[in-house]
Amino acid sequence: MSGKFSFTFNIGGKGASVPTAAPASAAAAAPALKPADLFPTRIWQAHLDALEPHRERWVEAVLAMRAAHPEPAGRTVRHGWNSEDMSVLEHAEFGPLREAIRAGCSAALDEMGQGERAFYLQSWINLHDRGGFNFLHMHEGSLLSGSFYLQVPPGAGEFVFRDPRPGVIHGYVKGGVPNGHADVHLRPSDGLLVLFPCWMEHYVEPHEGDEPRITIAFNANPVEHEAPGKR
C-alpha cells in the first residue's frame, strides 16, 4: 500500500525540502551526509487568471458539445462524458486558451531541452458526472501532457499521480519523504493548468458532486508523429 501526499496548485517551484536528521547522540555522531536526488520528475502548474472572463462561455460550449454528441468516447472515462473530437482546442472559441497552453508547453519543453521542437496540440474534453472517474493510464508517445481545469465544483475528484519508480513499491517507507513510496494527490481548482511528462501514470478519483467536473486534456505531440488517439 502506498503513502499519500497531497498538494494544491501553489506547491511552488523549488521542490520539496529534505528533512534534517535527528540530532546524533554523543556516542555516535552522524557523518556529514550530502543528499543527491536522482531521477527527479518535474511537473508545472499555473493559474490562468487572465482567462477567467472566458470560463463561463467555455463551460457552455462544452455542454453544447455533449448535447450535440451525447455518446461518450469511452477510453479511460467512466460515469461521465468525453469527446470523440481530439482537436477541441482548435475550435475558434478556445483560441485564447490554446495560445496560453501552447506558450506553457513551449516553456516547459525548453526546460526539457526540447525548446526547438515543433509540436501540435491534441486535445479533448473529460467530463465527470457524479461517480465519474478516470482509471489509471498514461499518454505514451507524446512530448508532454496536461490538463486545464475548466470547472471544479465541490466534491470534485482529485487528480492523482502514481509514483513512476517501479521498484519503490517494494520498499518499507511510505509517504512523501525521501525514498518513500506515495501516490501524489493534486487538489485542482477552476482555471488551473497542469503540465506533466506523458509517461507519468495518473488517474482521477470519483467525483462526488452533482455539477459536472470538466477538464480539457491535451498532449503536445511532435509534428513528425501521428496523433496517438487515446484517453
Mean pLDDT over each residue of the chain, to the nearest integer:
88
DSSP assignment letter at 9: T
* DSSP-derived secondary structure for 82-141: E-S-SBGGGSGGGHHHHHHHHHHHHHHHHHTT-TT--EEEEEEEEEEEEEEEEEEE--TT
Closest by Cα among 74, 41, 4 to 199: 41
Element (H, E) at 218: strand 213-222
Mean pLDDT of 97-119: 97
**What percent of the chain is modeled with pLDDT above 70?**
86
pLDDT band at 7 (very low <50, low <70, confident <90, very high): low
Mean pLDDT of 134-160: 94
- Say what the pLDDT of residue 28 is: 81
pLDDT in tens, 10-24: 544 433 444 444 555
Coil, strand, or helix at residue 46?
A: strand
pLDDT in tens, 41-97: 999 999 999 999 999 999 999 999 999 999 999 888 899 999 999 999 999 999 999
Residue carrying C-alpha cell 536528521: 21
